[in-house]
Amino acid sequence: MKVVFMGTPDFALPSLEVLVSSPHRVVGVVTQPDRPRGRGKKVQPPPVKVRALSLGLPVFQPQRVKEEGFVDLVRGLAPDAVVVVAYGQILPPSILRLPPYGCINLHASLLPRYRGAAPIQRAIMNGEKETGVTTMLMDEGLDTGGILLQRRVPIYEEDTAGKLHDRLAREGAELLLETLDLLARGDLAPRPQDHRLATYAPPLTPEDELIDWRRPARDLYNQVRALNPWPVARTWLEGKVLKVWRAAASPLPPPARAQPGEVVLSRKELVVATGVGCLALLEIQLEGGKRLPAEDFLRGRPIPEGTVLGKRVEGCFGHETV
């Protein structure tokens, strides 16, 4: 097949590389425009652009895919299929109807579960034991098109969003190639999703980052690993943001009078009472400081037992937090 590839972040890289190494021919790569990133807000190209240029592929970066000039450009490339992997814009009907084999999307969930922008993080947050990847023939809805192929992927107890992201990206690339091969041979047809089973994975918000110590330790553990490596779960320590990179549910029972967020052990471990049980903070980073194992952090900056994390502070993301 002649393929136009549309993708932007790291998640799309394995898929691009697999297609380039396959008998299919990538005739163009479409990605988001260069944008300011990082602390210095320096304008940087998206990962897919960098990799595509290194592979000698033509790259296109429209501000909006609905522009008539861009639709004409894709029409001129005459693709048999358009492959979409975490591109970041909704495709208009004029593009969806253009290629003979349609627009094929790789999604990081077992559709119809976890439709939307953050399926990896939401699955971990919700304590799921399994997720997967789906190839889908796109329609005008949000992840509502007919399913082509699916592959199940376990979520391990120690998985962070970063670890699961990388595994799903690799599995998804293999599934995408299998999908194109079967479509080219005429051996694959989409099957409708059961919309009654749909669940949604909305984009992460600043509120998702905030640790509510009234929740059970198990839920907070899932929150911490779901937000690693980005945007990272956080709480407050004496008016400063304290990021929590790694944590674990602690077997230590909280003292009878301990309130949620209270530090109940601060020696080699930093253990905090929650709504149900205790959470051990294993790797933390105080605003303006380095990311450190809790033991090293406490050696340089002790936190007395009885300190309450997450006290109400004005100004965090424009509202008070607990």
124 and 268 in a common domain: no
pLDDT tens per residue, range 203-253: 999 999 999 999 999 999 999 999 999 999 999 999 999 999 999 999 988
Which pLDDT does position 317 carry in this prediction?
A: 41
Counting Cα atoms < 13 Å in the Cβ hemisphere of 69 gives: 5
Helix ranges (DSSP H) in 78-205:
93-96, 119-125, 161-185
Q: What is the pTM of this model?
A: 0.94
pLDDT tens per residue, range 277-309: 999 999 999 999 999 999 999 999 999 999 999
Helix or strand or coil: residue 211? Answer: coil
Q: Are strands 35-37 and 59-60 parallel, antiparallel or unpaired?
A: unpaired
Question: For the domain that residue 29 is a member of, what is the CATH number?
Answer: 3.40.50.170
163 and 79 in a common domain: yes
Domain boundary among 170, 197, 224: 197
280 and 162 in a common domain: no
Is 211 contained in some domain?
A: yes
Q: Phi first, then psi: give them for residue 19, nearest 5 degrees.
A: -65, -40
Distance CA(300)–CA(293), nearest Å, equals 11
Q: How many domains does the chain have?
A: 2
> CA distances (Å), 7 to each of 61, 158, 191, in order?
11, 28, 24
Helix or strand or coil: residue 288? Answer: coil
Sign of CA dihedral 206, 210, 212, 216: positive
- Contact status, residue 211 vs residue 233, Cβ threshold 8 Å: yes
179 and 103 in a common domain: yes
Name residue 319's beta-bridge partners: 316
12 and 146 in a common domain: yes
Is 113 contained in some domain?
A: yes
Question: For the domain that residue 213 is a member of, what is the CATH number?
Answer: 3.10.25.10
Within the chain, what is the greatest distance between any pair of CA atoms?
71
Is 160 contained in some domain?
A: yes
Domain boundary among 169, 197, 225: 197
Q: Phi first, then psi: give them for residue 158, nearest 5 degrees.
A: -95, 5
Task: Check residue 321 and report its DSSP letter.
Answer: -
First to last CA, the chain: 54
AA letter at 61: Q
pLDDT tens per residue, range 193-210: 999 999 999 999 999 999
163 and 67 in a common domain: yes
89 and 227 in a common domain: no
127 and 67 in a common domain: yes
Distance CA(2)–CA(28), nearest Å, equals 9
Q: Which domain holds residue 141?
A: 2-197
Domain boundary among 146, 177, 197: 197
Task: Check residue 98 and report its DSSP letter.
Answer: S
120 and 171 in a common domain: yes
Give the contacts of 262 (CB within 8 A, at least 6 positions apart).
Answer: 254, 272, 273, 306, 307, 308, 309
Is 97 contained in some domain?
A: yes
Give the contacts of 18 (CB within 8 A, at least 6 positions apart).
Answer: 173, 174, 176, 177
| Tens digit of pLDDT at every position of the chain (322 positions) | 999 999 999 999 999 999 999 999 999 999 999 999 877 889 999 999 999 999 999 999 999 999 889 999 999 999 999 999 999 999 999 999 999 999 999 999 999 999 999 999 999 999 999 999 999 999 999 999 999 999 999 999 999 999 999 999 999 999 999 999 999 999 999 999 999 999 999 999 999 999 999 999 999 999 999 999 999 999 999 999 999 999 999 998 888 899 999 999 998 889 999 999 999 999 999 999 999 999 999 999 999 999 999 965 444 444 344 4
Distance CA(237)–CA(245), nearest Å, equals 15
Which residue do the tokens 């690993």 mark? 225
253 and 165 in a common domain: no
Which tokens is 148 given? 């082509």
184 and 258 in a common domain: no
Helix or strand or coil: residue 90? Answer: coil
